[in-house]
Structure 1
Amino acid sequence: MNDLIQHKLELLPDSPGCYIHKDKNGKIIYVGKAKNLRNRVRSYFRGSHDTKTEMLVSEICDFEYIVTGSNTEALLLEINLIQENMPKYNIRLKDDKSYPYIKITNEVYPRLLITRQVNRKDGIYFGPYPDSGAATEIKRLLDRIFPFKKCTNPANKVCFYYHLGQCNAHTVCQTNQTYWDRLKEDVKSFLNGKDNKIVNQIQDKMLKASEDMEFERAAEYRDLIEAVGKLRTKQRIMNQDMIDRDIFGYYVDKGWMCIQVFFVRQGKLIQRDVNMFPYYNEPEEDFLTYVGQFYRESKHFLPKEIFIPNDIDAELIKAVVGVKVLKPQRGEKKQLVNLATKNARVSLQQKFDLLEKDIKKTKGAIENLGELLNIPSPRRIEAFDNSNIQGTSPVAAMVVFVDGKPSKKDYRKFKIKTVVGPDDYASMREVIYRRYSRVMKDGLTPPDLIVIDGGQGQVNVAREVIQNRLGLDIPIAGLQKNDKHQTHELLFGEPLEVIDLPRNSEEFFLLQRVQDEVHRFAITFHRQVRSKNSLISKLDSIAGLGPKRKQLLLKQFKNLTNIQKANIEDIINCGIPRKVAEAIKEKLGDGNSSEAETEKI
């Protein structure tokens, strides 16, 4: 804590207001509110904190505060400051989407549409729905039940849907405004949960069709009744008053907060929203901040009522959002708040469980591996593998794992320069020397463990280079595969011996991932080099085709197959003279040979 902060802390008032933490560049990194600025701001610089709060405090180089007349004013100001400055340690809500509605248009022949733009003057709107999938599912069902206009045909020409009984937007139907108004009311009743009338009508149609021996149509009506039933079960009825509500519940643990919101629309629980984030203030205070941002910043639909837990200040939320805010005490409404809270607890516990599992797979695995090999935990592992076919196009590859996870920006490829023929040991000797002489020369970070994809011979070669030629002290292990090319044995120590590595341990799975990754990387690189070499060698005997023109072909066509399939004009267009293009086509043929299929990059 610097002198500036120390002096400012002495001058803090005990009034409500907002405080603004800044970093060394004067950038706002956190905005908070407090009922008592003196107590709240001082708490950051006194006592112990969890890790995330310590990170925040470590970056604070200055702070400001704004005194407000009430806690409500402080909450509103905090929300505005967060929206304007987007501090990195504050809650950030990314969801600024608008929700879909189902619309019945005010046309002579009304249509059912899905829209995200609401203009009450040009139709009747139902919703909002949680996502386009939910809206589409309901509209599809409405289209089968209610014969609104579904075609672009003129009124005097019937459409396909007319014959299915799903479109009455034709003069032959002799409909009038009263008919369409009644149909709109039926849709409204149906979506408000009063669907018994519609179901009874469909059942009557099904029975009549069955009596008339129109069994296919009767089956359609049967399926329609089942679809309505499924829609009922998907949407839990909360209350018969059909009021739109949002139900909030929250849970805190280990410095994290999870907030669940249940969306109740037209009396039905249709969707939920979940958000998890670290909190730095009192849980109740950060909950208030979240709710304010939820409606003001993320532009969520504002319902008629909001239900919140008992320990939250309802008047503060009402002042921010401007709708009725309730704290249910009993009955199904209270059960729904409890359900939201329970789901928040489950979601947060799941996050911790997944985090613990990930730690076991990564950091836990390297700690266990270090204990097994009697070395410090190998936070940085560099693994090597060679690849060639009978000595042709020899290459090697290195992959890097940091804290048990691949660090692909540190991967390296090596073309073998000094070895002729299939000499795996000499190739490994060259690559290890090139890599770690470069590490010493450029002051790069050395690994905590080198893993060689190979047996005793390769490990001994690597050890000879590391210890004798370069004078480095880096542990080296070997991974041998079995006949099925699977990770089989771990070799380590002086002299080398097989380490007892449990097959179901996280450290075994880590080494397996390392070996598979370095093998994949090496093989991929070898195929690229071999294909390029093959392409160039095929073109070597063609008169007039020098290195520059070969590169033009390689850049344009990528592989032999594409060159063979190209016509002469295509080859000419990439800068090759006609006579040379004709020689290329004569040499390579038409691209139908089996050889061409295998020569790919």
Structure 2
Amino acid sequence: MAASPDLQAQINHLPHRPGVYKYFDDEGIIYVGKAIDLRKRVSSYFNKNDHNKKTQQLVRNIKRLEFTIVDSESDAFLLENNLIKQHQPKYNILLKDGKTYPYLCLTSERFPRLLPTRNKVADGSRYYGPYATGTAMNVLLELIRALYPLRTCTYNLAPANVAAGKFKVCLEYHIGNCKGPCVNLEDEATYNGYITQIKQILNGDLRIPKQYFREQMGRAAQEMQYELAHQFKVKLDKLDAFQAKSTIVSDTLTNIDVFAIASNEKAAFISYMKVMNGSIILTQTLEVTKKLDEPDAEILGPLVMQLRQDFESEAREVLSNVALELPLPGVALAVPQIGDKRKLLELGLKNVLYLRKEKESMNERGKDLNEVRIMETIKKDLRLKDLPKHIECFDNSNFQGDNPVAAMVCFRNAKPSKRDYRHYHIKTVVGPDDFQSMYEVVHRRYRRLSEEGASLPQLVIVDGGKGQLSMAVKALKDLNLWGQIPVIGIAKRLEEIYVPNDPLPIYIDKRSESLRLFQRMRDEVHRFGITFHRSLRDAGTLKTELTDVKGLGPVTAEKLLNKFKSVKKIRELSEAELVAEVGKAKTKVLQAYFDQQEAEPAE
């Protein structure tokens, strides 16, 4: 698709430099992209003809563009990411801002505290995380508080304040959760020993804390302090239980980021696993809606950059199931095929494939539930005995009595079943008689189903009022099917629903899903019938016009009609093309006829 002259002039002056480009429509930014070469990348939108429909739609909406030159591809990635989050363009995959993730904060004060937070402050405190969910963070926080007697108060435990006796112990001391550093009952060196072990746990390394509790348990047992030994054993068991819930990858795999992606037509599903010290310490799965049918590598690349930034990863190795080219200096990118790294990647793939399958299954279940609800509503509104899983709707069509036809559409489980649609030529009725035509098609339809032993619908709808309905009822009675198939009529003027043996229409709420489905079926059968009737009418008109040409027989006329569909297209054929179709003699006849038609004045 060619760019407008003004836009093309702007594209021609783009630099061959890395940068970020922004596309605008009349209302604002609609797309942000990055490029190693701005001119080549932007030009590709307008020079290529193989774009998918969504990209074609984007290109049609571009009114102007802006660009920003940057020093490197890495800078382009970061700027693109920030602009997408800032402007939320309609054609971009929208990335979540990492500032909402929770952290654990180890304060920088004397006798540090461990606190949950979502805001990082430059006060010298140490922040761990971020964690994918608050639940994951709280599990770790509760474990640490169960293992170590950390204070939770906000006192300023400066040596002078403690020595002056400014504080009193609180309930946490009395229930054993704190050792009372506020009243100098716990020395700072012992407390800082706890903090050292806590840092190791927060970094995913449980070896030294486990060794510490194991040694303390053994020492207490030797000194016959069995109650104390039991307390250390309980804490050691808590660490073992926590480690058992963590996936141990391999002692040889240290700090690695693992990404896996799987997609369908509408969305992409991404799995991220953060591995530290041989254990998976963080997992995150997410779904992003596709905007331009982007390939997996194009979707995953920015997300790798984003998630590493959000979760403050310093891993020097990134594994993924699609090949990536990212501006990450000093970071190895790989698609492993064998070994422990491949097993790790397959674990991520299992998670993402499960997420995709579950999402697709939920969508299908949602559709099924919606369809069941509609059928239940119809059953209730019409007081039917059975759930109307199979509904058929009839309509007649004719033009001034010519080519009378009828149509039937079939819905199964509240959805069109187009393979069951049927067209009918009216055979026994002369002239435009909707009532008798309705009788004929209903009778023919259910006589055939009965003869074939096929299942009958749970509801029949006829397009029309009491007259058409009564003829449909008569047809069913003549087939001894009356009472087996419920039938209703829908009148066009007021969207009224008629049932047999009741002169007044029944009331159905205008907002009811029942009425909406009936209207949809009525409109569908009308469209289906009109299309059929129009094709017959046009064919009949063309055939009559051509067969009136002297010297041109009906076989030749039908041959031309079937191939070229209209007299206009036949008239536009060159002499050579006509000769190839019908020979020289008939070509002269046709050309003479067309010349005569053009010479005659219009009436």
Structure 2-normalised TM-score? 0.51
Matches within 5 A, 1:178-327: 178-191=189-202, 192-194=205-207, 195-201=209-215, 203-204=217-218, 223-238=234-249, 240=251, 245-254=256-265, 256-264=267-275, 267-269=278-280, 270-280=282-292, 281-294=294-307, 299-305=310-316, 307-309=318-320, 311-314=322-325, 316-318=326-328, 324-327=331-334
Q: Is the 8 A contact 1:248 1:337 kept in 2?
A: yes
How many pairs were matched up? Answer: 396
Aligned to 2:135: 133
- Seen in structure 2, the aligned counterparts of structure 1 residues 179 and 252 have a Cα distance that, compared at 3 Å, is same
- Seen in structure 2, the aligned counterparts of structure 1 residues 292 and 65 have a Cα distance that, compared at 3 Å, is farther
Deviation, structure 1 residue 133:
2.9
SS of the residue aligned with 2:95? Answer: coil
- Seen in structure 2, the aligned counterparts of structure 1 residues 287 and 107 have a Cα distance that, compared at 3 Å, is closer
Deviation, structure 1 residue 117:
4.6
Aligned to 2:554: none
Aligned to 2:87: 85
Provide, for residues 466-503 of structure 1, a one-character-per-residue CA deviation record: whole Å limited to 9, x for no partner. Answer: 85xxx7264637xxxxxxxxxxxxxx67899xxxxxxx
Aligned to 2:46: 42
One-letter identity of the residue aligned with 1:27: G
- Seen in structure 2, the aligned counterparts of structure 1 residues 159 and 72 have a Cα distance that, compared at 3 Å, is closer
Provide, for residues 500-540 of structure 1, a one-character-per-residue CA deviation record: whole Å limited to 9, x for no partner. Answer: xxxxxxxxxx87999xxxxxxxxxxxxxxxxxxxxxxxxxx
Q: Is the 8 A contact 1:259 1:344 kept in 2?
A: yes
Provide, for residues 537-592 of structure 1, a one-character-per-residue CA deviation record: whole Å limited to 9, x for no partner. Answer: xxxxxxxxxxxxxxxxxxxxxxxxxxxxxxxxxxxxxxxxxxxxxxxxxxxxxxxx
One-letter identity of the residue aligned with 2:331: K
- Seen in structure 2, the aligned counterparts of structure 1 residues 193 and 113 have a Cα distance that, compared at 3 Å, is same
The CA distance in 2 between the partners of 1:325 and 1:276, in whole Å, is: 26
Aligned to 1:472: 493
Matches within 5 A, 1:428-447: none
Aligned to 1:28: 29
Provide, for residues 16-64 of structure 1, a one-character-per-residue CA deviation record: whole Å limited to 9, x for no partner. Answer: 76554433x25221233456437731377x34735x556545x525353
The CA distance in 2 between the partners of 1:163 and 1:205, in whole Å, is: 26
Indicate which of 388, 391, 399 corresponds to 1:372.
391
Deviation, structure 1 residue 363:
6.6
> Where does the alignment leave 5 or more consecutive residues of structure 2 unmatched?
156-161, 376-386, 395-407, 417-461, 465-486, 504-512, 518-603
Q: Is the 8 A contact 1:162 1:168 kept in 2?
A: yes
The CA distance in 1 between the partners of 2:126 and 2:188, in whole Å, is: 15
- Seen in structure 2, the aligned counterparts of structure 1 residues 287 and 511 have a Cα distance that, compared at 3 Å, is same
Aligned to 1:8: 8
Alignment of 1:62 with 2:70, yes or no, is no
The CA distance in 2 between the partners of 1:165 and 1:37, in whole Å, is: 65
Deviation, structure 1 residue 67:
8.9
Deviation, structure 1 residue 274:
1.5
The CA distance in 2 between the partners of 1:250 and 1:172, in whole Å, is: 55
Q: Is the 8 A contact 1:245 1:306 kept in 2?
A: yes
Provide, for residues 436-458 of structure 1, a one-character-per-residue CA deviation record: whole Å limited to 9, x for no partner. Answer: xxxxxxxxxxxx999xxxxxxxx
Provide, for residues 115-147 of structure 1, a one-character-per-residue CA deviation record: whole Å limited to 9, x for no partner. Answer: 445567655554443333333332322223222
Provide, for residues 223-273 of structure 1, a one-character-per-residue CA deviation record: whole Å limited to 9, x for no partner. Answer: 544432221122223454896543222123325322222233565323313
The CA distance in 1 between the partners of 2:311 and 2:178, in whole Å, is: 35
The CA distance in 2 between the partners of 1:275 and 1:141, in whole Å, is: 31
The CA distance in 2 between the partners of 1:176 and 1:3, in whole Å, is: 75
Provide, for residues 171-217 of structure 1, a one-character-per-residue CA deviation record: whole Å limited to 9, x for no partner. Answer: 887543332332322333444221322441564488689x7786xx8
> Where does the alignment leave 5 or more consecutive residues of structure 1 unmatched?
380-400, 404-447, 451-462, 478-491, 497-509, 515-601
Q: Is the 8 A contact 1:251 1:345 kept in 2?
A: yes
One-letter identity of the residue aligned with 1:113: L
SS of the residue aligned with 2:206? Answer: coil
SS of the residue aligned with 1:374? Answer: strand
Provide, for residues 78-113 of structure 1, a one-character-per-residue CA deviation record: whole Å limited to 9, x for no partner. Answer: 445434532111111234435444444454444333
One-letter identity of the residue aligned with 1:338: E
What's the RMSD between the two structures over aligned residues? 5.2
Aligned to 1:566: none
Q: Is the 8 A contact 1:2 1:61 kept in 2?
A: no
Indicate which of 138, 143, 146 corresponds to 1:144.
146
Q: Is the 8 A contact 1:291 1:317 kept in 2?
A: no
Identity %: 22
Q: Is the 8 A contact 1:370 1:378 kept in 2?
A: no
Q: Is the 8 A contact 1:30 1:90 kept in 2?
A: yes
Q: Is the 8 A contact 1:288 1:317 kept in 2?
A: no
Provide, for residues 398-418 of structure 1, a one-character-per-residue CA deviation record: whole Å limited to 9, x for no partner. Answer: xxx999xxxxxxxxxxxxxxx
